[in-house]
Amino acid sequence: MAKAPTVYDVAERAHVSIATVSRVLRSPDAVRETTRDRVMEAVRYLGYVPSGNARALAARRTNVIGLFFPGHDDLDISAALSQSAGAEVPIVVDDGSLVQETENLYFDEVLRGAEIEAWRRGFALMVAAGRGASREALVNDIAGRVDGLAVLARTVSDELLAHVARRIPVVVLAGSERDDGFDHVSASNGPGMRALAGHVLGAHGVRDVVYIAGPEDSPDDAERLDGFRAALHEAGIVESDVPVYRGDFTRERGRAIGERILAYHTPRAVVCSNDQTALGVLDVLEARGIRVPDDVLVTGFDGITAGRHSRPTLTTVHQPMVELGRAAVHAITARLDDPTLAAQSLTLPVQVVLRASCP
């Protein structure tokens, strides 16, 4: 790592100018073969790796796209790095307590989609998961390093987003469409929930139903609730007859609310605003020996993997998470190619997936 070699070093060794070195790397065909070979030899000999920063600066384009998510909130951050190893391997019995609720599937899958699409278009991907107060600083920092930025809705103040958007294209992931001038990519939350609830109320003819919503500030959640209400309306059920509980998208909260619901009355169906919540409800139902789907129908939303493995398996609405990531990157590159484009708002289709909890 003794002072990385530069174009100058390579040029000197190959007896050419730095311009020629640059050409060999950017457009090899514009250089005579013998010259090219000499340059490449020097590159190898010196262990030359071009500076991406210098390049980006000169070319006024980084070829990097940024992705910002809210962090895996501080929970495990404090834990010190475990050390040692040795031969003594502990043997433990998994009684269920080992389960770390790291079902951050949403993040993972969107990221994967973004990575795939970025790669296809010749961009690198820079990810940041910000937490706490430094979040805004992080976003600002990353914004200075990329050609475009995808941000999960509601994780950053509109003010900062607007600030950043003056420099690079910004696309907002998930959430509802807003006429804020940003590009927007989301899934069909409302229609999805409406179709699912329609199935519950229609195919099963349920009328005694309860709804568990997500956190107040989630636009996704708001759309789902709207979809649910639309389904109620279609089924001729009076909205005020249906209790709506306010959850927070976690399994734990799902359990708590499940308990509360059952303490009072056992409904024929529990429709949840996301899968985690639904899984929590299933936990409670199972603990009480209440049969699903025989006694109670349960549904979720998202399509996380855990729902395929739960007992019983979970009926849900599947969001195309990988596609969301891809679409976000696509939106950014499209705008990069043509900055005059009007703000796009893409809504990706979802799919109701029927499983055992509500066949």
Partner DNA sequence: GTGAAAGCGCTAACAC
Partner DNA sequence: GTGTTAGCGCTTTCAC
Stretch that binds a copy of itself, among 28-36, 140-148, 241-249, 270-278 (CB under 8 A): 140-148
Task: Phi first, then psi: give them for residue 5, nearest 5 degrees.
Answer: -65, 150
Q: How would you classify residue 344: left for phi > 0, otherwise alpha for psi between -120 and 50, otherwise beta?
A: beta
Q: Out of 42, 110, 129, 262, point to the residue binding a copy of itself (CB under 8 A).
A: 129
Q: Is 166 in the site for DNA (CB under 7 A)?
A: no
Nearest distance from C-beta of residue 2 to a copy of itself, angstroms: 8
For the beta carbon of residue 1, count every other beta carbon within 10 angstroms.
Answer: 4
**Under rule CB under 7 A, which residues in 116-155 are in contact with DNA?**
144
Q: Which does 297 bind (CB under 5 to 8 A by kind): a copy of itself, DNA, none?
A: none
Q: Which of DNA, a copy of itself, none lies near 324, with the C-beta cut-off 5 to 8 A by kind?
A: none
Least distance from a copy of itself to the Cβ atom of residue 39, Å: 15
Residue 218 to residues 77, 162, 221, 224, 294: CA-CA distances in angstroms? 25, 20, 5, 10, 32
The residue among 67 and 285 lying less far from a copy of itself, judged by its C-beta, is 67
**Rounded CA separation 359/353 (Å):** 9
CA nearest 103: which of 272, 262, 306?
306
Q: Check binding of 326 to a copy of itself (CB under 8 A).
A: yes
Site for DNA in 197-256 (CB under 7 A): none
Would you say 281 and 255 are in contact if contact means Cβ atoms under 8 Å apart? yes
Contacting DNA within 45-64 (CB under 7 A): 48, 50-51, 54-55, 57-60
Q: Is 16 in the site for DNA (CB under 7 A)?
A: yes
**Beta strand pairing call for 170-173 and 183-187:** parallel
142-168 burial by CB neighbour count: b if 16+ within 10 A, else e? bbeebbbbbbbbbbbeeebbeebbeeb
Nearest approach, Cβ of residue 46 and DNA (Å): 11
Site for a copy of itself in 12-41 (CB under 8 A): none
To the nearest whole angstrom, how small is the minimum distance from the Cβ of residue 224 to a copy of itself?
12
Question: Cα–Cα–Cα angle for 131, 133, 137, nearest 5°?
Answer: 90
Site for a copy of itself in 169-188 (CB under 8 A): 169, 188
Q: Which amino acid is at 61?
A: R
Q: How far is the CB of 139 from DNA (least distance, A)?
A: 16
Position 238 contacts a copy of itself (CB under 8 A): no
